[in-house]
Amino acid sequence: MYKTIFGVIIVTSLILSSCCDHSEPKIRIAISKEKSVTSSTKYADWLLRHESNLEYFYMYPLGIDSALKLLETCDGLLVTGGEDVFPGNYGKIDDTARCGRFDRYRDSLEFALIYLAKENKIPIFGVCRGEQILNISQGGTLYIDIPTDFDSTVAHRQPNWARGYHPVWLVDNTLINNICGEFDQRDVVSSHHQGIEILGDNLVITAYAADSMPEAIEWKSITEHPFLMAVQWHPEAMDTLHPLSEPLAKQFLMEATKYSLSE
């Protein structure tokens, strides 16, 4: 009798142990580029604050072909901040001298990643430059230099970008407004000298600065496209619980999870 009871306990323990060993598959996020792969994971950390069951991959070091193959195994694409997009990509090659640094390889990589993500219906989130290149990918254009091309008293660029704050207003009846809640205005960390001039096809502006400079975009019809949202500010550099940071990470991760379960 004791042997029987002991045997049942052993079998039950093995079954429970086996169940515990099978953890949920990790959400896989492609990150177009980090500031420094070796010393900074600010974008990955932003997502990890809200979802520990996460695996992330830096696309930039891989080369375009390898990055595209890896993206096909991912559940979301995060297009990050960085250098100016080369103006020849949106019909302003004569204004090259008024831009900052370029990375033509990065432009090519991110355009390729965006197009594949759209084709495969992979959720996309863009930050700063990410918003700008997503707008360009849809046929939009940028102001080459806001201080000289756009009459404004808003300081969109600060010497220390992490301390560059200004308020933004969300547009009613948009996805970002629905997920971030109702409020008149909120300060965000935002530092950039370029911004959306002509809006890309099928996009809608969902947030503005005080001078009417676009600060966020998403699909005009969210039911006809895979998830796409982008902001000009830096949610990864803001407080963990900031209402214009935390909900954005959670929404992107939720969309990535839904994508993962649909495969």
What are the phi and psi torsion angles at 23 (to 5°)?
A: -75, 160
Catalytic residue among 236, 242, 246, 255: 236
- Over its length of 263 residues, how does the chain's per-residue pLDDT go in tens digits? 444 444 443 344 444 444 444 467 899 999 999 876 544 568 999 999 999 899 999 999 999 999 999 999 999 999 999 999 999 999 999 988 888 888 999 999 999 999 999 999 999 999 999 999 999 999 999 999 888 888 777 776 666 666 678 899 999 999 999 999 877 788 998 888 899 999 999 999 999 998 899 999 999 987 778 899 999 999 999 998 999 999 999 999 999 999 999 87
Q: Is 74 a catalytic residue?
A: no
Active site residue 234: yes
Domain 25-262 has CATH 3.20.20.70: no
| pTM for the whole structure | 0.87
Using CA atoms, how far apart are residues 205 and 81, in angstroms rounded to an integer?
Answer: 19
Of the candidates 74, 99, 128, 180, the residue annotated as catalytic is 128
**Helix (H) or strand (E) run with residue 6 in it:** helix 2-21
DSSP classification of residue 93 = G
Length of the chain, in residues: 263
236 is annotated as an active-site residue: yes
DSSP single-letter state for residue 84: P
Catalytic residue among 156, 166, 192, 234: 234
